[in-house]
Amino acid sequence: MSKVATYLQGHITGHVLTRKDVCEKYADTLSVLSATPEMVVCPRSTNDIRKLVRFAWQLAEKGHSFGISTRGGGTDPTASSLTHGALLSMTPSMSTLYEYEPKQHLLRAQPGATVATAQSALSLHGVKLPIPAEYPQATLGGAIANGELVDGSAAWVHQLEVVVDSGDVIQTGRISKHDFNKKSGKQGREGDIYRGIDTVLEDHAELIATLQKSDMHDRSGYPGITQVRGRGGSFDLTPLFVGSQGTLGIISEMIVEARFAPRERVYAAAYFANSEIARDALDQFEKQSPALLEYIDGAFVAEALDQGNIYPWLKLSDAQARQVAAGTLIVIGFDEFNDRKRSRSLSKLRKKLDKLDCIYTTSTESDIETLRRVVDYTALPAAHADRAAPEIVPGFYVPRARFEDFLVNLAKLADSLHVDIPLHGDIKSGRYSVRPTFSLQRVADKQKLFKLIDSLNALIVEHGGALVAHGGEGRLLSRFVRADWSDEYEKMVDEIKAVFDPHGMLNLGVKQPVELRELVAELRSDNSSNATL
């Protein structure tokens, strides 16, 4: 790989790094998996990406392929940006916000720009992107590639510039049937891709029609295939790249749509010592149609308190404080644009809360925003330096009607595995996450981790849910979600991958079959903050 790095450094304007200490730095993300790349490439332009990919394509044609993965902020817990080959790091030199068009609310940017930077710039115009990024280092390119959108839709992504496996650059966007016929008639990789996807649409038309009629909570594979063909025969490849996790091409530029944002949100936070009462209260809260309705296991609150955090409104007796982990925290938020409507909604909510057996507070300030982050304190338990609580399943779906039953069975699963599995999530969308506590230094716990993912997946499916409802499956969850796919859906996913990446160069092991022994070999052996924060 050193000869490859030397050759590339002479042909690109960015940096090619092979130092062991640098490569080891890029081995860690927020995932429990770890992989050290042989080479880190920090491109300065789309042309740099083209040259790397083109070179890899030429080697692959001669039977000497190496994998290429793309990394933004390294915040995906499913290990979608890990590789033992060449890693493209977008944040050092491809993080520019080019321009904002206020009439259509369109932002043109490079993929390495962070979501936090973009949101800050857009706030000056009273708009924001529909990306609920939890970490400040999360990037726009990563958010699109991982499908980390509010509703999982590609509708807000207007256009992408993508470097495909041959090193060619294509521009995605909705085109007419006439323009599609012109593109599909071209020679070269762009024509091959349009013809290939058209064939996939024809061969799996019945399956795609069925998926279009479903709720599409499952975001694993390439669910964007259902949005490719539009009215009048129009065609758009953009939905395929949203959530593709770098397996179909490398995003080098984007045009995304921002939306008007309320200037402030009003909140209420209620702690229930009795979890059953909390779950019963959810029905009352839902009737007010809040913008936010979060369910947070009391174990998260207990850990935050143990680490010295003080919430003045949460006045507990000594006996109550010892049992706080058995309770439930509910956070309700309203963000109507009209101040009077927000105030009225909050007033109605207070009247409900006064009648419930709970401790609550209401606020328009940042203290409840801070309270919502109690989940973070569980990542590194203060009293157990030999343990960590990584986020292994970032967003699974459970139908609202089955939520209570699911919680009962999740508790039984925790007892059977002798692992704490606190849950938090959004009642409105039905998307949740868990933070089980493990020691990644113990072989028994490593084995238990994969058993937990397998058992959790089975439990989710049993209750009509999906393991991947937010983001993608990455490398960590790929083998588990594929086990629940129909034969035809699996065939279609593999065909889509083959259309874009016939040589198997792009993000190997992501959205592909992965042997359990490979995952076990890549598990981290430490509980450091790199794995969890």
Whether residue 20 lies inside any domain: the answer is yes
Give the CATH number for residue 288.
Answer: 3.30.70.3450
Are the C-beta atoms of 161 and 251 separated by less than 8 Å?
yes
* C-alpha distance across the termini of the chain, in Å: 31
| Structure confidence at residue 91 (pLDDT) | 94
The reply to whether 323 and 350 lie within a common domain is yes
- Give me the number of domains the chain comprises: 3
Give the CATH number for residue 510.
Answer: 3.30.43.10
The reply to whether 136 and 156 lie within a common domain is yes
Q: Rounded to whole angstroms, how far apart are CA atoms 225 and 274?
A: 44
| Structure confidence at residue 384 (pLDDT) | 59
Residue at which a domain ends, from 206, 240, 260: 260
H or E element in which residue 42 lies: strand 39-42
| β-bridge partners, 138 | none
- CA proximity to 189, closest of 164, 172, 160: 164
| Structure confidence at residue 532 (pLDDT) | 39
Q: Rounded to whole angstroms, how far apart are CA atoms 415 and 421?
A: 9
The reply to whether 217 and 146 lie within a common domain is yes
The reply to whether 271 and 124 lie within a common domain is no
Task: For 286, list phi and psi in degrees, rounded to 5.
Answer: -65, -30
| Structure confidence at residue 345 (pLDDT) | 87
Q: Rounded to whole angstroms, how far apart are CA atoms 492 and 200?
A: 7
| Structure confidence at residue 531 (pLDDT) | 39
Whether residue 64 lies inside any domain: the answer is yes
Half-sphere exposure (Cβ direction) of 381: Cα atoms closer than 13 Å: 17
Whether residue 37 lies inside any domain: the answer is yes
H or E element in which residue 97 lies: strand 97-101
Whether residue 483 lies inside any domain: the answer is no
The reply to whether 171 and 249 lie within a common domain is yes
The reply to whether 27 and 148 lie within a common domain is no
The reply to whether 194 and 209 lie within a common domain is yes
**Which CA distances in Å does 339 have to 33, 267, 349?**
46, 13, 15
Q: Rounded to whole angstroms, how far apart are CA atoms 286 and 280?
A: 11
Q: Rounded to whole angstroms, how far apart are CA atoms 218 and 224?
A: 11
Angle between helix 275-286 and helix 403-417 axes, rounded to 10 deg: 150
Residue at which a domain ends, from 298, 331, 363: 363
Whether residue 245 lies inside any domain: the answer is yes
Residue at which a domain ends, from 198, 225, 260: 260
Q: Which two tokens stand for residue 487?
A: 């034969």
Q: How is 144-182 classified by DSSP, letter by letter?
A: HHTT--SSS-STTEEEEEEE-TTS-EEEES-B-HHHHHH
Are the C-beta atoms of 112 and 93 separated by less than 8 Å?
yes
**Region class of 486: left (phi > 0), else alpha (psi between -120 and 50), else beta:** beta
Q: Rounded to whole angstroms, how far apart are CA atoms 211 and 213?
A: 5
Whether residue 7 lies inside any domain: the answer is yes
Q: Rounded to whole angstroms, how far apart are CA atoms 228 and 169?
A: 19
The reply to whether 272 and 233 lie within a common domain is no
The reply to whether 68 and 113 lie within a common domain is no
- CA proximity to 496, closest of 311, 224, 308, 270: 224
The reply to whether 83 and 117 lie within a common domain is no
Residues of the chain with pLDDT under 50: 529-533
Whether residue 149 lies inside any domain: the answer is yes
Half-sphere exposure (Cβ direction) of 117: Cα atoms closer than 13 Å: 17
- Domain carrying residue 106: 97-260
The reply to whether 229 and 312 lie within a common domain is no
Q: Rounded to whole angstroms, how far apart are CA atoms 110 and 107?
A: 10
- Secondary structure (3-state) at 12: coil
- Secondary structure (3-state) at 107: strand
Q: Rounded to whole angstroms, how far apart are CA atoms 186 and 419?
A: 56
| Structure confidence at residue 306 (pLDDT) | 86
Whether residue 445 lies inside any domain: the answer is no
Give the CATH number for residue 199.
Answer: 3.30.465.10
Angle between helix 339-354 and helix 275-286 axes, rounded to 10 deg: 150
| Structure confidence at residue 381 (pLDDT) | 65
The reply to whether 208 and 342 lie within a common domain is no
In the block, which residue shows the tokens 């321009």? 99
Are the C-beta atoms of 509 and 479 separated by less than 8 Å?
no
- CA proximity to 183, closest of 231, 230, 227, 236: 236
